[in-house]
């Protein structure tokens, strides 16, 4: 190779402005060593990626891997070819200043020697001998500068692929279990349940009803980058903290219903979410759902993750449940969840191994209709008619009406939605009071909301309900009366 092989590298860098090694433009690359080196550098630039470099003809032939090396032969990863780098770059780590090419932090993820089995224009096959990167890989071009990298060896023994789909384990409403040492207690957060996949430093967030909500919560990108090359699946909750530091479900409402990119940016600036993590289900090729709570909790805590935007919820095993519940009340939390310490993670199931105990009465409800508003509410609605799924298919059981707790904004938005859902027939299986039945306008029962209330009446209605907000993360089929 001649000095020209590094011309592209030098053209993109300014001596004195970046700490990267910049060889003299007259320097000729060094001859290839007997056993060439490879290096993989984790690069937190505008987009997290891993730079894969192979010593060849006196330089480091280089590719950017957005998701890093594949662990299994079942999935190829993109490899974008970039300019050759000097051999001195093989030991570089540091921060490239803002405004320079590749600005961001570079660290060495792994390095070592490799065996070259093939080096052709359309196929490069190597065997890596690193501390973290081991085995046979092949690079092959596709279109333009894009290549793919494929692992030819089997996945490491015991490797379990990260599942692509999963439903969260659900708690059963009830009373505190006995303080017999068999339970761990966590605070119940007033937020939005979410499963978070991390792969290649990129998050994917899915709500309880299976909707991908990643684009609605750009704050999660920082959490994904902080996890680096680790592959994981977390269970947690998204919350918006108010000025008092307590979770605000009302402020979370704005985030749950912002979908357009412009609205998402505005909502994220005014009401940023925090991620509260309470379970770890998969980590680096190992499934944890078959382990008991204590082992999953230890694996989660061993990650030592925590930052202003995310944290692991506290777990109490020595304090009795009543003391934790009292602390939850003092802190303004929604309640506690008691988790049996010997229980495994039962994906998609509502289990008595998790018991939720609230310090206030709340109930998820389905909107089945509304009454017209009067006076200043003309053109909107007066009250919502509420139900929970009946034993009769596609029908609701009437549980009451709610007309308080709405902000002007939420009332106007909800009125607009309801008018598009009006239908001629009642979705309720039972008969409503005559006066209410006459004033009602029926809607297709597909919107789930939540109310606070004082108690259930003997005839099964909500006493003094107050609207808390829509639950876009909940499906109608999952709504049930909480005891």
Q: Indicate which residues carry an active-site annotation.
A: 188
Element (H, E) at 61: strand 59-65
Q: What angle do CA 328, 332, 335 make, to 5 degrees?
A: 40
- Six-digit token string for 81: 């070819």
Cα-only R_g, the chain: 28
Helices (H), 29-161: none
Residues with Cβ within 8 Å of residue 174, at least 6 apart in sequence: 352, 355, 356, 357, 483
- Six-digit token string for 314: 């506290």
CB 411 within 8 A of CB 418: no
Q: What angle do CA 127, 132, 137 make, to 5 degrees?
A: 25
CA 100 to chain centroid: 31
Residues with Cβ within 8 Å of residue 192, at least 6 apart in sequence: 207, 237, 238, 239, 252, 256, 473
Element (H, E) at 280: strand 273-283
Task: List beta partners, residue 371.
Answer: 383, 440
Residues with Cβ within 8 Å of residue 93, at least 6 apart in sequence: 41, 106, 107, 108
Please state the length of the chain: 483
Rounded to whole angstroms, how far apart are CA atoms 301 and 295?
Answer: 10
């Amino acid at each position: 190779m001649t000095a020209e092989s590094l011309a592209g590298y030098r053209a993109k860098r300014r001596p004195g402005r970046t700490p990267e090694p910049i060889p003299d433009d007259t320097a000729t690359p060094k001859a290839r060593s007997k056993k060439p080196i490879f290096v993989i550098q984790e690069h937190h630039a505008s987009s997290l990626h891993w730079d894969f470099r192979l010593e060849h003809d006196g330089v480091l032939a280089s590719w950017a891997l957005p998701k890093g090396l594949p662990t299994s032969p079942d999935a190829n990863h993109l490899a974008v070819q970039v300019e050759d780098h000097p051999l001195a770059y093989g030991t570089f780590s540091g921060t490239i200043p803002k405004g320079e090419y590749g600005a961001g932090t570079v660290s060495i993820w792994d390095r070592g020697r490799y065996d070259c089995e093939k080096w052709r224009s359309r196929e490069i096959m190597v065997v890596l001998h690193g501390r973290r990167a081991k085995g046979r890989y092949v690079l092959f071009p596709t279109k333009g500068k894009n290549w793919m990298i494929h692992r030819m060896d089997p996945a490491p023994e015991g490797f379990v692929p990260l599942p692509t789909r999963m439903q969260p384990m659900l708690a059963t409403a009830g009373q505190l279990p006995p303080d017999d040492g068999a339970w761990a207690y966590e605070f119940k957060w007033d937020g939005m349940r979410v499963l978070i996949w991390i792969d290649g430093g990129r998050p994917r967030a899915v709500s309880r009803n299976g909707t991908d909500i990643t684009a609605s919560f750009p704050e999660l990108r920082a959490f994904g980058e902080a996890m680096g090359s680790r592959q994981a699946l977390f269970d947690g909750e998204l919350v918006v903290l108010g000025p008092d530091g307590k979770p605000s479900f009302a402020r979370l409402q704005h985030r749950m219903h912002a979908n357009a990119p412009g609205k998402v940016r505005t909502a994220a600036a005014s009401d940023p979410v925090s991620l509260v993590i309470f379970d770890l289900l998969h980590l680096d090729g190992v499934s944890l759902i078959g382990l008991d709570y204590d082992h999953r909790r230890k694996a989660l805590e061993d990650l030592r993750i925590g930052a202003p935007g995310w944290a692991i919820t506290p777990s109490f095993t020595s304090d009795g449940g009543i003391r934790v519940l009292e602390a939850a009340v003092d802190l303004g939390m929604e309640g506690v969840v008691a988790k049996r310490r010997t229980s495994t993670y039962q994906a998609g199931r509502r289990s008595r191994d998790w018991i939720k105990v609230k310090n206030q009465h709340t109930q998820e409800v389905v909107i089945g209709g509304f009454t017209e508003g009067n006076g200043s509410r003309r053109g909107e609605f007066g009250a919502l008619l509420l139900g929970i799924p009946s034993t009769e298919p596609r029908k609701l059981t009437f549980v009451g009406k709610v007309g308080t707790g709405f902000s002007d904004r939420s009332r106007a938005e909800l009125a607009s939605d309801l008018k598009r859902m009006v239908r001629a027939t009642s979705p309720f299986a039972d008969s409503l009071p005559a006066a209410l039945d006459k004033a009602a306008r029926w809607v297709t029962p597909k919107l789930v909301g939540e109310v606070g209330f004082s108690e259930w009446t003997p005839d099964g209605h909500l006493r003094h309900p107050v609207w808390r907000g829509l639950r876009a993360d909940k499906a109608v089929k999952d709504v049930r009366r909480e005891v």
